[in-house]
Homo-oligomer: A and B are copies of this chain.
Amino acid sequence: MTDVDIRPATAADLPAIVAMLADDPLGARRESPDEPEVYRAAFERMAADPNQHLVVAVRDGRPVGTLQLSVIPGLSRRGAVRTIVEAVRVDATERGGGLGTLLIEWAVAESARLGASLVQLTSDASRTDAHRFYRRLGFTDSHLGFKREL
């Protein structure tokens, strides 16, 4: 998949990213693509934080995939830095073609480059295809992921 480029997202990519976030069984209920100002404000906050890496995978100039990589310094595991992968999406036209693998492998390589010794993510219990995908990429589902909405 040499014709896809993974690069930092810009504000111009936001409509495409939000469309991908919304085009998803869970995201459809959670997102509001008709309120771009909400996402623009969030993007500015992410862009101001050097530990947030929002990227897009681009083919022929069009964003067709995205993820967010967050860098978390910490004390545990001998002061290990860990990264967290969130909001992984692949455009419907690209699914099953290896783009998800490319994105996660990018996140793993970038995490190592940033000095992390652990990459982690949570995946909704209903996303069984995603679970197989992450196991195949060397991830172990050793943990339960707990959430509480505020």
The verdict on A141 contacting B145 (CB below 8 Å), with A46-B75, A72-B52, A72-B84 known, is: yes
**Cross-chain contact A146 with B150 (CB below 8 angstroms):** no
Q: Give the residues in chain B near A140, CB-CB below 8 Å.
A: 146-148
Q: Identify which of B38, B116, B147 contacts A120 (C-beta below 8 A).
A: B147
**Cross-chain contact B147 with A78 (CB below 8 angstroms):** no
- A positions within 8 Å CB-CB of B: 14, 17-18, 21, 27, 30-32, 35, 38-39, 41-43, 45-46, 49, 51-52, 54, 68, 70, 72-81, 84, 86-87, 108, 111-112, 116-125, 131, 134-135, 137-150
Could you list some 12 contacts between A and B, CB below 8 A? A21-B76, A31-B76, A39-B75, A108-B148, A117-B150, A118-B147, A118-B149, A122-B144, A135-B146, A143-B147, A144-B144, A145-B145
A108-B150, A140-B147, A141-B146 known, 9 other contacts, Cβ within 8 Å: A42-B78, A43-B79, A52-B73, A68-B74, A84-B84, A111-B150, A118-B149, A120-B148, A142-B146
